[in-house]
Amino acid sequence: MQPINPLPNSWVRILFLLGSFLFSHSLFAQTNLALNKTATASTALTAAANAVDGNGGTRWESVHGNGPSWLSVDLGANYSLSSVVIDWEAANAANYDVQGSTNGTTWVNLASRTGGAFGTRTDTVPVAGTYRYMRINATQRSAGNNWGYSLWELKVYGTVPVSSSSIPAANANLVQGAVVAASSQVQPASLAIDNNAGTRWESTHAVDPAWISLDFGSAKNVSSVVIDWEAANAANYEVQGSNNNTSWATLATRTGGTFGARTDTVAVSGSYRYVRIYGTARSAGNQWGYSIIELKVFGSSGVASSSSVSSSVVSSSVLSSSVVSSSTPTVPSSSRSSSSVTGTNSSVTIPVNVTYKPLYPSQSTPELSHNWRIEADGTIVTFGSGRARARHEAEDIFYTFPSFYHEHRTFKFEVHDHTPKGESRVEIFYEPEYANFNDIGCRKSLFNPYRSYFGDNGGFTRIRNADPATGKGELWRCIGTRFVPGEREGQTTLRTGEFYDFEFQQWLGFTDTDPRVSAQRVYYTDTFRIKLGTPGLYIVNNDELNTKLASGGTATAAPVRAFKGVAQADVISTSGVLADSGAPGYQSIRSPQAIAKGYQKPSYLLANSGNNATVTYREGNQTFTDQVIEYAPTAASPFIVDRHSHLWTAFFREALNIRWETHNQFLSGRRIFHTDFVTGKHFEAGNPDFTELANLATGLTINSSCVGCHVNNGRGQAPVAGQLPNSMAVKVSSGATDANGNALPHNYFGKVLHPQSRNGGVPAEAITNLSYTNIAGTFNDGTAYQLQAPNYSVQVLDNAGGAVNNFSPRMAQTIVGLGLLEAVPESVLLQRHDPNDSNGDGISGRVNQVTDLKTGEQRIGRFGWKASIATLEQFTADALHEDIGVSTSILQGPACGANQTACRNAGPNGIELNDARVNLLTVYMQALGAPARRAETVNNADVVRGEQVFGNLGCAGCHTPTLTTDYGHPLAELRGQTIKPYTDLLLHDLGEGLADRLTNNATLNREWRTPALWGLGLEPAVNGHSRLLHDGRARNINEAILWHGGEAAASQSAYRAATATQRNDLIKFLESL
């Protein structure tokens, strides 16, 4: 950004007086900036739009009894705000925040109000700052408000800021709020701009031409049009613009489109109020009309410049490589002076307009994607899959995988909820992968946050027998008609709005000696939670908490809930105040109040948080001291403690909404992931050898298994001074790059330095040694800190390769939630693609263009520290080939450089791991759920404050909290999800301090893809250390923040200037993710 020259003092005084005159209340009435703008809300019993319609007789109303709720309005442009007026209905807020945002994602608190009384009132709240989005975030209802939050009108006042009044917002989707029309409407034209991939506009059948048009209300500078065609599409059409809705200019022409779902992205230019898609000929095979799922028009307000690009169009389903443009004005940036980045021996042009082929251009529907359906009679059917567990959910060994987990241990279930019809009845259907020799246990209504309690052990009835030859096809049914007596204190009737829990008990085999069943035969299963009257599965029995925990939407992995009972005989001592959890003033763990808490807080602490007792006790030969969360003096195990001894399994779990067919692939893929490719042995005791995988790791290698680098699905070993561990890879290159800025392989060593060889005729390549230099620094408050700067030396073992000058050590990354990141459509990533910082926010992130390893087409990279690989399948194949020495159809032959003759001659030259097994490995990583947030801390005051600090410091500029997936991914579980990974998947310049030496281009060496932050607080338990960043130099979160520079320099500087409390709050928030 260029600095703004200050005005002389005399002009400042004149402008101030002029401004005071022009905006005096005596001359001009204030303009309500929110009137008829786009409003959204967390929930809406009555429409959010009612709050900005200028009608005092209509209102927005949130869902009743819910937790915090919000109402936001998009003002359409940045305004310098002065006040907000809220006309509350009687059901109002006692406490609320007024918040502003420039991007609709990162929110800043502008004002807070507390103590509001029940009853109709008007609040006028002064605010200051320049924002486009305004939000009322209500955190507590007023006393006597037994409903939700309700307001008649929300009014926002302010002016266009001088510094931005002439700068239009670029690359906005202009269809929001546009008026849509069409030549004919079998299905309404409005469905083409409702942001719902499950609806569409459809024209009259067999009629050519046909059109759909948009009226933006005023002229807009249009840059591109995106058309999500349904199968019944156009072969030939024009994109047209007009300023009077009568005379139309052709902006682009498209011909030759084929029948079938596709997305066309059309680059256009000009300033128009109206845009029209004018279909002149249907595609061959289209016997219907024209059908568009979604129509998007991108651009900004204002007049098009003379340098606008000429119109062009390609279709992702017609050409082998489709061109999709993300057109952004070129503005000098503080981090990149232009779109050309240069280094000592390399120059690469980073394109503003990105050419790529989408991963998943064909879209499914919501109905085919979510894990529930609603029958014609109103019955809600939720379905899913589970697997055998050694014990119950609240016990630690529940979270590990029993022996032979990949054989016969899965099952499909369906829950038929009849309560919406007024019936007190739930039917549960259970179909095991293999026959069961005993009646299946149906354990209903657990309602116990800390330990297993099954007061209603019902049974299933077999309604279909298994095939004697395969053991498959068996079906059982269990009927539940009541809650557990005592759990609901007299309530025995099932009704909507109540939570209902259940698990199963398995008896594998046609008999208890069936030879086809190995190892353990009697198992428990996952505990599943539903809310009667609501489709889908829940993580916890609490709507508000469930929403906060669900980082991956319905594809979240449920958290570890293992707690431990301590017998009085094992107690050594206690500290703090011990109180009977069942005594007056405390809430019994089995009370409705404790149930409603989900397990958000220990019930022992609900009444008086000061009673924070600990108990020291013996377990075997070890001694532990843990927090007491329940104390019942007369119980056999009077102390229930929170030891989190099995948090190391937190990244093991599959997505909660996993389907049966995916689940079986997941477990088979897990077996491959945990198998040594040299010995064929499984890394978990009690499992059979996988002899077909033995001796596949040949030639040059780093490790011999996937789990050897991604320990517990985490980051691998911590780097310490000395030789790098064999869970780290050292990338190597020639120093040159391709046209997109991706490093090219070293001529001799290839892409990775291999420290070991499994072939006596091929020497190992090199080992890398590490030492550290301490760097001292201080925060602005005088607190000292110390960083470790790594120093690397490469010791070449194969002297034929010569010296290694360009290299980059990399730690393995956690692999949870990757499928959801793969399912984010390119259009979402391109919304933040801004290599020249055209919006002047100091952030110039860019997508990385890469070459598809299978097709050679251009894709957008997502995976790896430099976003250098496009898909999880190719990420898997690359790791197998480069790190383990296993060839696949994607990357065949040994992992050698072009001039590494001995390595190439040694082979192998064929395919060692077939496509089916590569696919199983891929599904395993795709279906690993995103880790749930930390339920025990998510509502803590320091965590809530820390989230505000996160926004205030600008961290969300790169670590984008929320992304969405579309309906294109092959796995239904990943479609249509709103996820919270805290990444934009873009490359950012993080400054010289974090630069590697992989290329000869200094700017490219400073770039790193934003890592996802979900699960960050679990990594010490999973990894056994807290090392962060690409090479593990940061020993904790604090050091990782302090290493940020470049585009993040302002945030790092603000962090150093923050108070100790603010810094601690931020870290507590990050640990809660």
Higher pLDDT pick, 247 / 685 = 685
Strand runs labelled E in 369-425:
372-374, 380-389, 410-417
Fold of 371-538: Immunoglobulin-like (2.60.40)
Q: How far apart are CA 1009 and CA 1031, in angstroms?
A: 13
Please tell me if the domain spanning 172-327 has the same topology as the one spanning 371-538: no
DSSP run (H or E) holding 822: helix 818-822
- Residue 492's pLDDT is what? 67
Identify which of 600, 596, 603 has the alpha carbon closest to the alpha carbon of residue 629. Answer: 603
DSSP, collapsed to helix, strand or coil, labels residue 667 as helix
Share of the chain above pLDDT 70, in %: 85
Share of the chain above pLDDT 90, in %: 57
**Matching residue, tokens 């014990």:** 391
Q: How far apart are CA 503 and CA 149, in angstroms?
A: 36
Higher pLDDT pick, 692 / 329 = 692
- Residue 577's pLDDT is what? 77
Q: How far apart are CA 971 and CA 554, in angstroms?
A: 13
Q: What is the pLDDT of residues 48-67, one digit of tens each?
A: 889 998 888 889 999 887 77
Q: Which residues contact 387 (CB under 8 A, 6 or more apart)?
A: 405, 409, 410, 411, 525, 526, 663, 667
Cα–Cα distance list, 969 to 219, 265, 409, 824 (Å): 37, 20, 27, 9
Average pLDDT, integer, range 376-399: 88
**pLDDT bucket at 501, cuts 50 / 70 / 90:** confident
Spell out the alpha helix ranges (H) of 652-759.
660-673
Q: What is the pLDDT of residues 463-490, one digit of tens each?
A: 999 999 999 999 999 888 776 544 444 5
Query: Is 80 exceeded by the pLDDT of residue 809?
Result: yes
- Across the chain, what does the average pLDDT equal? 84
Query: Is 90 exceeded by the pLDDT of residue 681?
Result: yes
Q: How many CA atoms lie within 13 A of 847 on its CB side?
A: 27
Q: How far apart are CA 526 and CA 452, in angstroms?
A: 12
Higher pLDDT pick, 667 / 629 = 667
Query: Is 60 exceeded by the pLDDT of residue 166?
Result: no
Query: Is 50 exceeded by the pLDDT of residue 331?
Result: no
Q: What is the pLDDT of residues 912-949, one digit of tens each?
A: 999 999 999 999 999 999 999 987 788 888 999 999 99
Q: What is the pLDDT of residues 357-383, one digit of tens each?
A: 999 999 999 999 999 999 999 999 999
Query: Is 50 exceeded by the pLDDT of residue 531?
Result: yes
Cα–Cα distance list, 552 to 413, 563, 651, 1054 (Å): 22, 25, 13, 30
- Residue 36's pLDDT is what? 86
**pLDDT bucket at 711, cuts 50 / 70 / 90:** very high
DSSP 777-819: EE-TTS-EEEEEEEEEEEEES-GGG----SEEEEEPPP-TTHH
**pLDDT bucket at 312, cuts 50 / 70 / 90:** very low
- Residue 1011's pLDDT is what? 97
Query: Is 80 exceeded by the pLDDT of residue 43?
Result: yes
Residue 411's DSSP bridge partners are 386, 432
Residue 278's DSSP bridge partners are 211, 238
Cα–Cα distance list, 424 to 178, 483, 533 (Å): 46, 10, 11
Q: CB of 427 within 8 A of CB of 477? A: yes
- Residue 351's pLDDT is what? 62
Identify which of 331, 326, 328 has the alpha carbon closest to the alpha carbon of residue 354. Answer: 326
- Residue 576's pLDDT is what? 82
Higher pLDDT pick, 442 / 700 = 700
Higher pLDDT pick, 159 / 99 = 99
- Residue 585's pLDDT is what? 46
- Residue 328's pLDDT is what? 26
Q: CB of 185 within 8 A of CB of 212? A: no
Q: What is the pLDDT of residues 597-654, one digit of tens each?
A: 343 333 334 444 434 678 899 988 888 888 777 778 887 888 877 666 788 999 999 9
Q: What is the pLDDT of residues 441-453, one digit of tens each?
A: 776 554 444 443 4
Q: What is the pLDDT of residues 340-352, one digit of tens each?
A: 444 444 455 566 7
Give residue limits of the domains in the chain.
31-159, 172-327, 371-538, 567-643, 660-813+871-929, 941-1071
- Residue 446's pLDDT is what? 45
Name the most confidently modeled range: 219-233, 449-463, 677-691: 677-691
Cα–Cα distance list, 921 to 235, 916, 918 (Å): 39, 9, 5
Residue 131's DSSP bridge partners are 79
What top-level class would CATH report for the domain 172-327? Answer: mainly beta
Q: What are the φ/ψ torsions at residue 546 (nearest 5 degrees)? A: -60, -40
Query: Is 50 exceeded by the pLDDT of residue 683?
Result: yes
Q: How far apart are CA 783 and CA 1060, in angstroms?
A: 8
- Residue 310's pLDDT is what? 29
**pLDDT bucket at 540, cuts 50 / 70 / 90:** confident
Identify which of 847, 753, 759 has the alpha carbon closest to the alpha carbon of residue 794. Answer: 753
Q: What is the pLDDT of residues 174-191, one digit of tens each?
A: 887 788 889 988 888 888
Q: What is the pLDDT of residues 810-828, one digit of tens each?
A: 999 999 999 999 999 999 9
Q: What is the pLDDT of residues 222-255, one digit of tens each?
A: 988 999 999 999 999 999 999 888 888 899 889 8
Identify which of 278, 370, 394 has the alpha carbon closest to the alpha carbon of residue 637. Answer: 394
Q: What is the pLDDT of residues 946-1002, one digit of tens each?
A: 999 999 999 999 999 999 999 999 999 999 999 999 999 999 999 999 999 999 999
For the segment(s) 941-1071, the CATH number from 2.60.40, 1.25.40, 1.10.760, 1.10.3470 is 1.10.760
- Return the HEC string of 923-950: HHHHHECEECCCCCCCCCHHHHHHHHHH
Fill in the amino acid letter for 44.
A
Given phi > 0 = left and psi -120 to 50 = alpha, else beta, which region is 270?
left
Angle between helices 915-927 and 872-879 (to 10 degrees): 120
- Residue 729's pLDDT is what? 95
Query: Is 50 exceeded by the pLDDT of residue 591?
Result: no
- Residue 721's pLDDT is what? 92
Q: What is the pLDDT of residues 81-129, one digit of tens each?
A: 888 999 999 999 999 999 988 888 777 888 888 889 988 899 988 888 8
Query: Is 80 exceeded by the pLDDT of residue 572?
Result: yes
**Strands across the sheet with 752-753, in order?**
752-753, 728-732, 807-811
Q: How far apart are CA 126 and CA 128, in angstroms?
A: 7
Average pLDDT, integer, range 282-291: 92
Query: Is 80 exceeded by the pLDDT of residue 12?
Result: no
Q: How far apart are CA 993 and CA 647, in angstroms?
A: 33
- Residue 731's pLDDT is what? 97
**pLDDT bucket at 544, cuts 50 / 70 / 90:** confident
- Residue 484's pLDDT is what? 54
Query: Is 90 exceeded by the pLDDT of residue 845?
Result: yes
- Residue 583's pLDDT is what? 58
Q: CB of 480 within 8 A of CB of 502? A: yes
**pLDDT bucket at 28, cuts 50 / 70 / 90:** very low
How many C-beta atoms lie closer than 10 Å to residue 993's C-beta?
A: 17
Query: Is 70 exceeded by the pLDDT of residue 587?
Result: no
- Residue 1066's pLDDT is what? 97
CATH architecture of 31-159: Sandwich (2.60)
Q: Which residues contact 799 (CB under 8 A, 6 or more apart)?
A: none
